[in-house]
Amino acid sequence: MSGVRLEQLTKMYRDPQRGGEVTVLDSIDLTIAAGEFLVLVGPSGCGKSTLLRLIAGLDQPTQGTIWVGDRIVNGLPPKARDIAMVFQSYALYPHLTVYDNLAFGLRRSPQINVGSLLPAPLEATLTRWTRPLPKGLQCSFARERAIHQRVVTIAQMLQIDHLLWRYPKQLSGGQKQRVALGRAMARNPQVFLMDEPLSNLDAKLRTETRGQIVQLQQQLGVTTLYVTHDQTEAMTMGDRIVVLNQGKIQQIAAPLELYQHPANRFVAEFIGSPPMNFLPVTVTATGIQANGWQYPLTQQQQALFGACRERQVWLGIRPEHLRLGTATESAIAVEVAFVESLGHETGLTVHLEHSATPWRVRLSGHHAIGRGDRLYLHPDPAHLHFFDDHSGQRLM
């Protein structure tokens, strides 16, 4: 396995309608450790798929350097980079069986050798068996046996070994996706690229398959870059997550770090379901206030702002860090607009006084709350987030 390093990677396209160039990726610096599962997440058009295409060699960067292991691969064609890629579409050969789809890349690649596919004891056994044959037949037989062993091993790992002699038209969506994954894994590449491979599956299959992908990656130890717009996939699959927006990296962190300490307001809004709630507030001598609502700050929080008084900042509170309470000066008065009763929790959409933006609330368990009810919410003081009013960067 090999790591991947991107240095000042930039990609620009000409826009004939605007008569200029559009920057899709802007000076990306990124290091992926060998064996790491890195997830790229962000809204549509942020440059996620373009980044994968550049690494795979399907597109060329405007500037910057791409390292795979200790090699600069900028000038190499895709087949010479030892990289496998899975796309959103399955791209299976309809006239080939599952077995032949899995074996196709192994048979076509001149770089595949028997030793890389077989355990040492089995390789030695095959060598003894084929020794009486002419040399050309020895190589052909040993190679095909090695390919067969690799195909069967991958099929068993993906739990599709009972489907090896079926054709793609006889498979379900989830089975097709596992075949596509297996075909990429069969070559034992140095780097594995996945471009939204689960987006065509239903919710139940997505949940099952993402767990299988993580288990397979851990078993194979292959460096993996996984692109998704689904932040749930990102949080549950990645060793680290890269949040992209408008071609720039917003934050790189482990899932929990990203959730608890977002670098800016964009990350705070994008990561989390439902997203973080925001309210513009003014810093006072003892706390914060907004439209008559006042909330005291801890000494640590007050020290953050120092002598800066009457400063405008954004307050961020996640939906699960609001609890029901009584009408006090520090409570936020809201009116319920929508209720989602899920049994294990109750989701609320509420309106604040003097604020056009609704808030989301998540309460543990079942609550007898109806539309139009007036409630008083109390934020958890240990989970308040503050962001700069102008730059959106995290203050605390």
pLDDT digits (tens, 9 = 90+) for 340-350: 999 899 999 99
pTM: 0.86
pLDDT of residue 12: 93
pLDDT of residue 129: 53
Whether residue 133 has pLDDT greater than 60? no
pLDDT-based confidence at residue 328 (cuts at 50, 70, 90): confident
**Measured torsion, CA atoms of residues 356, 360, 366, 369, in degrees rounded to the nearest 10:** 0
pLDDT-based confidence at residue 137 (cuts at 50, 70, 90): very low
Whether residue 316 has pLDDT greater than 80? yes
Nearest to 336 by CA among 348, 327, 328: 348
pLDDT of residue 105: 84
- Given CATH 3.50.50.60, say whether it is the number of domain 276-388: no
* 153 Cβ neighbours under 8 A, 6+ residues apart: none
Residues 155-203: pLDDT tens digits? 888 889 999 999 999 998 888 888 988 898 888 889 999 999 888 778 8
Residues 119 and 266: their CA atoms lie apart, in Å, by: 48
Q: Write the burial class of residue 275 (CB in 10 Å: 0-12 exposed, 13-18 middle, 19+ buried).
A: middle
**Measured torsion, CA atoms of residues 363, 369, 375, 381, in degrees rounded to the nearest 10:** -10
Whether residue 115 has pLDDT greater than 50? no
Q: Which span out of 12-21, 152-161, 304-313 was modeled with the highest average pLDDT?
A: 152-161
pLDDT-based confidence at residue 116 (cuts at 50, 70, 90): very low
pLDDT-based confidence at residue 57 (cuts at 50, 70, 90): very high
Whether residue 124 has pLDDT greater than 80? no
| Domain spans, the chain | 276-388
Nearest to 215 by CA among 148, 156, 147: 156
Residues 255-302: pLDDT tens digits? 999 999 999 999 999 999 899 999 999 888 778 888 878 888 877 777
- The answer to whether the beta carbons of residues 156 and 189 sit under 8 Å apart is no
